[in-house]
Structure 1
Amino acid sequence: MPSNLQTTDVAIIGAGPVGLFAIFECGMLKMRCHVVDSLDVIGGQCAALYPEKPIYDIPGYPRVMAQELIDRLTEQAAPFEPVYHLGQQVTALSQSETGRWRLTTAKGTEIDAAAVIIAAGCGAFGPNRPPLTGIEDYEGTSVHYLVQRREDFRGKRIVIAGGGDSAVDWALSLAELAEKIHVVHRRPKFRAAPESIDRLHRLAESEKLDLVIPYQLAGLQGSGGQLTAVEVADLEGHKKALPADVLLPFFGLSMNLGPIADWGLNLDHQHITVEPATSETSAKGIFAVGDIAVYPGKLKLILSGFSEAAMAAHAIRPLVYPDEALHWEYSTTRGVPQSAQS
């Protein structure tokens, strides 16, 4: 047996919110977990892309910051003593004659598990960059594809480009502290929550926020990595310059399943097809939960991923304890152990 081989009940690929909740659900069923994530921090996109972004659709939390949600989920999983393998991508997955699964990471870590839960979100991801000449000269100083600290933008003149949830949500959030915000979108209609769009239009009636529609990004002005203005053009090519210190382009993420695409699972447009009742994939013992999983009627919500994680854990338990019947107890009657050894 290789010296770097580690044995566990469940291997979880992805340490985002759904992967973290899967640790808790498996732990409540007395199953140990090892968690692998290509990022070097726990939290997935919530931690890497928008730690200070408010989330409004978590039950029991009228409003919670993404990083706070990750902190609470990490605390909830802690009694079950998960082992995290961060900054590592799973590069290979194979099944032994006994039916157990072997994961190998880019750093040579090997994990032997009875079952695998893929909670990899969108897979490998990166921002879709606007095709602007010289944009690389401003990235990291004046051009940012994510907001990690709202306070960094206090008193700034900000141009936000895009028409989806990220663009609208950050316009609403940063309007509280920015000197001026211009929201640039190529069409009048936004693709965001109706209430958020209503709030955006109400803010546009004030002098704090300007809707620049229908326009699209056309160029950048500045020097030494510091923007002075963002050029925009309408559909007829007429240009104007918006005074700006910062450009936030929110054009979504480019997604890539990476090695997952080569594991022989049933795929549907960069997603993994699963059985809705169990979250099991086309391979016995491999489950997919959260945004990466797809089935008829799927809703891409964190709370849907939480439910899928619970169903996957219950479907996995017979694989870990094949000869033991489950006598189910609610957490309110059973409680949560102080440690996984309790």
Structure 2
Amino acid sequence: MTETPPRTDVAVIGAGPVGLFAVFECGMLQLRCHVFDALDAAGGQCTALYPEKPIYDIPGYPKIQAAELVERLFEQAAPFEPAYHLGERVERLEACSLDGADGWRLTSSKGTVVEARAVIVAAGVGAFGPNRPPLAGIEAYEGRGEGRGVHYFVTRPEGFRGKRVVIAGGGDSALDWAIILAELADRLYVVHRRERFRGAPESVARLHALAEAGRIELVVPFQLDSLQGRDGALEAVVVRDLDGGQRTLEADVLLPFFGLSMNLGPIAEWGLNLDHHLIVADPASGATDKPGIYAIGDIATYPNKLKLILCGFSEAAMAAHAIRRRLHPDEELHWEYSTTRGVPGG
């Protein structure tokens, strides 16, 4: 006898900040959720890449560390008792019939099968990894240990205290970490192939202020050329300018921030309308071209899309309300504000 798989109102693919908030919004509308994520812990990039990085644009929090934000969102969703399937990537998404209604059957990398009446894809950038600089022998310096010379993510800033640090890149990540590590590093260089940086104007201004104060040395316009060291311990980073001139920067650590390589994985095979590896979604509801499937957060795209966590929160709320209307078209929703309705056990 074939066992009937568990059924739920909504399956959420992705347990990052936006996916966790979607669980809360669905719960407020009495929609039960199962949550899948390929990572072993909730939080997405906030947990895996920069748990101690401060975030400044979450309403109500002038500054909050990424790990604490995840903890708060996890706590916020807890009263609605979602079922978590962490460390399980959704491999297959197939249409199915649930008591005569349209639904979706999800099968994970561990063989877990769940049937859902609606699906929210909040998978961030999908499977992610760093874009590595093309430096000969860089592999010898890579690794998770603090004694290694090349790191692509900063999970514990304190580990760089008193170190000679070279940051390569000109975007937001490079600028953010330069500003943070300027308080910890013994010597900090920022290498960029252009004199102009691509980060937020406020961050660029803070970077230049730190440079004028002697806390950071801007090495521009230069780019990485080679590494020097032994047994995985970095001793120097060699850089060159556009004319071939070289400088040798004594360094213990190289942090190359050249963005993430994105791999949608199985999502690319689900027949969704994609635009440059992103899922095309309705900005008013998150609806995709597949009835019952919604996309929110960084993986969703539409005109004038802003890739901000706070925008993802708004998308989560709109998707939850759209799903409620889809699943209960004959029920009038008398929506109340959370301040008057409260949450279970609140």
Per the TM superposition, whether the score is higher than 0.5 is: yes
For residue 206 of structure 2, give the secondary structure of its aligned residue in structure 1.
helix
Are the structure 2 counterparts of residues 2 and 148 from structure 1 closer, same or farther at C-alpha, using a change threshold of 3 Å?
A: farther
2:83 matched residue in structure 1: 83
Matched residue type, 1:81: E
> Which of 117, 142, 157 in structure 2 is aligned with 1:139?
142
> 1:322: Cα distance to partner?
4.0
1:284 matched residue in structure 2: 291
Tell me how far apart the structure 2 counterparts of residues 160 and 13 of structure 1 sit (CA, whole Å): 33
> 1:5: Cα distance to partner?
2.1
Q: What aligned pairs does 1:119-158 form with structure 2 within 5 A after superposition? A: 119-140=122-143, 141-158=148-165
2:254 matched residue in structure 1: 247
2:227 paired with 1:220: yes
Are the structure 2 counterparts of residues 243 and 2 from structure 1 closer, same or farther at C-alpha, using a change threshold of 3 Å?
A: farther
CA deviations on 1:27-84 (whole Å, 9 max, x unpaired) are 0001111110011111000110111111111111111111111011111001111111
The sequence identity of aligned pairs, in percent, is 68
- Indicate if the aligned counterparts of 1:93 and 1:101 stay in contact, CA closer than 8 A: yes
Tell me how far apart the structure 2 counterparts of residues 193 and 332 of structure 1 sit (CA, whole Å): 35
Q: Mind listing any 5+ residue stretches in structure 1 that lack a counterpart?
A: none
1:300 matched residue in structure 2: 307
1:334 matched residue in structure 2: 341
2:215 paired with 1:208: yes
1:102 matched residue in structure 2: 105
Tell me how far apart the structure 1 counterparts of residues 258 and 60 of structure 2 sit (CA, whole Å): 30
2:197 paired with 1:190: yes
Tell me how far apart the structure 1 counterparts of residues 213 and 335 of structure 2 sit (CA, whole Å): 56
2:38 paired with 1:38: yes
Of 31-40 and 90-99, more deviation after overlay is shown by 90-99
> 1:253: Cα distance to partner?
0.2
Matched residue type, 1:221: Q
Q: What aligned pairs does 1:53-72 form with structure 2 within 5 A after superposition? A: 53-72=53-72
Cα root mean square deviation, aligned: 1.2
1:18 matched residue in structure 2: 18
Aligned length: 339
> 1:205: Cα distance to partner?
1.2
> 1:2: Cα distance to partner?
4.6
Tell me how far apart the structure 1 counterparts of residues 45 and 236 of structure 2 sit (CA, whole Å): 30
The normalised TM-score by structure 1 is 0.97
Tell me how far apart the structure 1 counterparts of residues 285 and 120 of structure 2 sit (CA, whole Å): 11
Are the structure 2 counterparts of residues 2 and 218 from structure 1 closer, same or farther at C-alpha, using a change threshold of 3 Å?
A: farther
Q: Mind listing any 5+ residue stretches in structure 2 that lack a counterpart?
A: none
CA deviations on 1:276-306 (whole Å, 9 max, x unpaired) are 1111000010000001111112111111100
Tell me how far apart the structure 2 counterparts of residues 335 and 245 of structure 1 sit (CA, whole Å): 52
